């Protein structure tokens, strides 16, 4: 049996992935970080009922975003092998909203940001219907993120910040030169050039400030374990409520995995006993 078996195009995975990407690109405003003002406007707070949905689509920083986007795609793909695309979107939203609601009840003064709860729901749902594939993905993700995705994103982020600093210094020098020249040359063309340089410098300063602020914010914002647990349980609950027959059918895979694990443990224990008898 192939590891990936799609009967239809994975529209649910595509919709969720594009939603996260589009929101991040639009709110980050040509930088690698979302400004704090926009971030906390969409973060989960008890004062804003819409934030139970909006917080799922914003992220603290580029590493947080990439670190959520990859698991979302992989777990959604596994889950979508077993269900139609509306269930993929529904599990993400159902798990994200329910888990964040429980989080808000137990942490009323802490803002919540990120798609983790919804992704955890997709994990729980994938484990319920496609346990073999979900477990492989679950074990592979830490290595994929740690050794490929996160180092690559960090390199791009550092390169972009360095480019902004170079642009800032270049524009400062050009602006200072043009401003000095404008004291002796009052032509409209030169005055317009000075204004354009000033505007470009202001935009670059703002981008660099957002980037530096985002880096500092991403390093200091903690990850909550419990909201991930709530998300997994919510995903399992969704499958139990709406795809119970499929959930019961997947028990065969769990029995096969259990038998394989038991035989593996017995084999390891047997080899240890043989080595023990061979020693003096």
Query: What confidence tier does 4 reach under pLDDT thresholds 50, 70, 90?
Result: low
Query: What confidence tier does 274 reach under pLDDT thresholds 50, 70, 90?
Result: low
Encode pLDDT of 175-214 as tens digits: 999 999 988 887 889 899 999 999 999 999 999 999 999 9
The answer to whether the CB of 158 falls within 8 A of the CB of 280 is: no
Encode pLDDT of 123-165 as tens digits: 999 999 999 999 999 999 999 999 999 999 999 999 999 999 9
Q: What is residue 183's predicted lDDT score, i.e. its pLDDT?
A: 83
In the predicted model, what is the mean pLDDT of residues 111-115? 94
Encode pLDDT of 38-92 as tens digits: 998 999 987 788 999 999 999 999 999 999 999 999 999 999 999 999 999 999 9
Q: Cα separation of 178 and 180, whole Å?
A: 5
End-to-end Cα separation, the chain, in angstroms:
47
The answer to whether the CB of 133 falls within 8 A of the CB of 122 is: no
- Is the entire prediction scored with pTM above 0.75? yes
% the chain with pLDDT above 90: 74
Q: What is residue 164's predicted lDDT score, i.e. its pLDDT?
A: 96
pLDDT at 112 over 90: yes
The token pair that represents 120 in the structure block: 């955890």
11-158+221-254 belongs to which CATH class?
A: mainly alpha
pLDDT at 33 over 90: yes
Nearest to 75 by CA among 144, 154, 156: 144
CA distances from 150 to 11, 63, 250 (A): 26, 6, 33
In the predicted model, what is the mean pLDDT of residues 234-261? 87
Q: Kindly list the domain boundaries of the chain, sorted by start residue.
A: 11-158+221-254, 159-213
CA R_g for the chain: 25
Q: What is residue 221's predicted lDDT score, i.e. its pLDDT?
A: 87
The token pair that represents 54 in the structure block: 């909006």
The three-state secondary structure class of 184 is coil
Query: What confidence tier does 277 reach under pLDDT thresholds 50, 70, 90?
Result: low
Q: Cα separation of 254 and 244, whole Å?
A: 15
């Amino acid at each position: 049996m192939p590891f990936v078996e799609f009967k239809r195009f994975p529209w649910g995975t595509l919709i969720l992935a594009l939603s996260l990407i589009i929101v991040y690109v639009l709110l980050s405003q040509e930088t690698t970080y979302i400004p704090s003002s926009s971030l906390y406007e969409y973060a989960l707070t008890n004062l804003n009922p819409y934030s139970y949905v909006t917080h799922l689509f914003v992220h603290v920083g580029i590493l947080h975003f990439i670190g959520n986007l990859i698991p979302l795609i992989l777990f959604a793909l596994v889950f979508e092998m077993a269900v139609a695309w509306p269930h993929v979107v529904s599990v993400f939203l159902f798990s994200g909203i329910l888990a964040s609601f429980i989080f808000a009840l137990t942490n009323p003064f802490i803002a919540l940001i990120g798609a983790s709860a919804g992704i955890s729901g997709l994990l729980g749902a994938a484990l319920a219907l496609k346990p073999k594939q979900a477990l492989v993905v679950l074990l592979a993700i830490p290595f994929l993120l740690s050794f490929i995705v996160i180092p690559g994103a960090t390199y791009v982020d550092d390169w972009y910040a360095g480019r902004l600093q170079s642009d800032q210094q270049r524009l400062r020098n050009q602006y200072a030169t043009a401003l000095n020249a404008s004291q002796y040359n009052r032509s409209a063309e030169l005055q317009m050039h000075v204004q354009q340089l000033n505007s470009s410098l202001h935009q670059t300063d703002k981008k660099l400030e957002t980037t530096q602020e985002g880096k500092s914010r991403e390093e200091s914002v903690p990850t909550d374990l419990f909201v991930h647990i709530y998300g997994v349980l919510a995903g399992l609950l969704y499958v139990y409520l709406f795809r119970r027959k499929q959930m019961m059918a997947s028990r065969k895979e769990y029995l096969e995995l259990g038998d394989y694990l038991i035989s593996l443990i017995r084999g390891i224990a047997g080899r240890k006993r043989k080595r023990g008898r061979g020693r003096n």
